[in-house]
Amino acid sequence: MNLLLVLLTIGAIAYFFLSHHNRQIQTVRDSDVVVVEGAIDRYPNLPLGNFAVPNRFRSPDRVQVVFPMLTDAGDVEYLYSWHSLRAVTPMTLSRDHRQNKVRVMAELAPLIKEHLRLELDRVALENQLTKIQKLAELVAVSDLYASQLGTYERAIDETEKLICKVEELSRIYVRMVKEALIGTRIAEFNPDLLLDLHVPLDEQYTRVKSEYQFMKDSAQAYYDLLKESQGATDLTS
């Protein structure tokens, strides 16, 4: 009886620990901004200090975060860094905060997360394009499937246009991050010079983002058409 009680107690403790650990991970995953303990000591030239954007997780308790940086030439660079979950604290920042770095990070964090997701989209699209191009080459030399070549060519065209739109949107993200980080450097000497970050770019960003989503939906329709076409051909062959 005592052994059973001990086993039940150990199981309950393990369950509680695992549940708490999973909640911690989910909280960090859902956050736009985290504070990384010891980041400034490890990377002394971070424009926004120990503020970062959570990116990926690795078992059991490793978190990859992204620090936005500026090179000496003024180009944007993302620093990817792994840290213990214990060293990463989710934060909710305000754009109205008096401290410049807090304001800037509150503005930038959602955009950086979008930019990171966009880069994943770009890689996936490039892989998809390569796959469709190889299939189109096979269809072009086939007697049975040659009638489908037009569908593949349209899918290639849509995918190439979408990749171009991804690159255009990515350039906007980079420009917004760049201007914000430059503004932070300038504000270190005169805080009154820190401008409203997104006003000059909001209209273009919103337009291109909307165009990208529309083109993405259109490209998906061609991918679905390809699958349906392949399925129908398989049934009749």
Cα separation of 180 and 101, whole Å?
10
pLDDT at 235: 40
Phi, psi at 215, each rounded to 5°: -65, -35
218 versus 168: the higher-pLDDT residue is 168
Helix, strand, or coil here: 69?
Answer: strand
Q: pTM for this one?
A: 0.79
Per-residue model confidence (pLDDT) at position 127: 94
- Beta strand spans in the chain (E): 33-36, 51-58, 62-70, 76-84, 88-91
pLDDT for 135-175, tens place per residue?
999 999 998 888 888 888 988 999 999 999 999 999 999 98
Lowest mean pLDDT among 77-91, 141-155, 181-195: 181-195
Burial tier of 10 (Cβ tally within 10 Å: 0-12, 13-18, 19+): exposed
Least confident of 34-38, 45-49, 101-105, 194-198: 194-198
pLDDT at 52: 94
Under 8 Å between Cβ of 111 and 173: yes
Is residue 103 scored above 90 in pLDDT? no
| Beta-bridge partners for 79 | 67
pLDDT tens sequence across 70-80: 988 889 999 99
| Mean pLDDT across 106-118 | 91
Judge if the upstream peptide bond of residue 68 is cis by omega within 30 degrees of 0: no
Nearest-angstrom CA–CA distance, 151 and 130? 15
